[in-house]
C-alpha cells in the first residue's frame, strides 16, 4: 500500500512574498514544518507533547525543488507523508500544490533523527512504541 498523505491548506499571505508578489523561497521550508506538525497532530499528539515526553526531531537534512511560484493570495495545499522510517531516523516528503489548478509548485524532503532532550539519538520504538507504531502505519498506508 501507499503511505498515507496528510493535507493542510493555507492562503499565501502578503508578508510571505517578495516585491514581485512571489513567495520567498525560504517560506516553503516553513510550510513543510506546518505540514509535518499537522501530520503529527492527526495522531492526537502535538509536537509540544512529543517534546514533553523527551522526544525531539531535529532536522538533519533538507531538500527542495522549485517548480513554479506561489503568489500572494493563492490557496495552496501542503501534502505531507512519511517517506522513510527507521529505528532512529524519519524522512518526510512534501508537495505544495496550488489548489485552483492542482499545479505542483514545490516538492521536497526533510530528514530527522529521534533524540532525547540532550540531543542524543534514541530508538523511538523503545521509548515511545505507540508513536512509532502510528508513524509506521502512516508510512505503510495503514496496513
Asked if residues 60 and 88 have their Cβ atoms less than 8 Å apart, the reply is: no
Mean pLDDT within 9-20: 96
**Cα 138 → chain centroid:** 13
pLDDT at 84 exceeding the cut of 60 = yes
Mean pLDDT within 31-37: 97
pLDDT (0 to 100) of residue 100: 98
pLDDT (0 to 100) of residue 64: 98
Q: Hey, what's the cell of 107?
A: 516538492
Q: For the residues of 9-57, what is the DSSP string, one character each?
A: EEEPPGGGB-TTSBBPTTHHHHHHHHHHHHHHHTTT--HHHHHHTT-B-
Q: For the residues of 114-133, what is the DSSP string, one character each?
A: -B-TTS-B--HHHH-HHHHH
pLDDT (0 to 100) of residue 3: 86
pLDDT at 61 exceeding the cut of 90 = yes
Set out the domains of the chain in order of their start, with CATH numbers. 6-140 (3.10.129.10)
For the ranges 22-26, 31-35, 134-138, which has the lowest average pLDDT? 134-138
CA distance 119 to 133: 22
Predicted TM-score of the model (pTM): 0.93
- Calculate the average pLDDT of the chain: 94
> Widest CA span of the chain, in angstroms?
49
Residue 100 or 131, more confident: 100
- Kindly list the catalytic residues: 18
Amino acid at each position: 500500500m501507499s503511505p498515507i498523505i496528510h493535507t493542510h491548506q493555507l492562503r499565501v499571505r502578503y508578508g510571505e512574498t517578495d516585491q514581485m508578489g512571489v513567495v520567498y523561497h525560504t517560506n516553503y521550508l516553513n510550510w513543510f514544518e506546518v505540514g509535518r506538525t499537522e501530520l503529527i497532530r492527526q495522531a492526537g499528539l502535538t509536537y509540544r507533547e512529543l517534546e514533553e515526553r523527551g522526544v525531539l526531531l531535529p532536522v538533519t537534512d533538507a531538500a527542495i525543488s522549485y517548480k513554479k511560484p506561489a503568489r500572494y493570495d493563492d490557496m495552496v495545499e501542503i501534502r505531507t507523508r512519511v517517506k522513510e522510517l527507521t529505528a532512529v531516523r524519519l524522512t518526510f516528503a512534501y508537495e505544495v500544490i496550488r489548489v485552483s489548478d492542482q499545479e505542483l509548485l514545490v516538492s521536497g524532503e526533510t530528514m530527522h533523527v529521534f533524540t532525547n532532550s540532550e540531543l542524543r539519538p534514541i530508538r523511538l520504538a523503545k521509548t515511545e512504541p505507540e508513536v512509532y507504531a502510528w508513524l509506521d502505519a502512516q508510512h505503510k498506508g495503514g496496513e
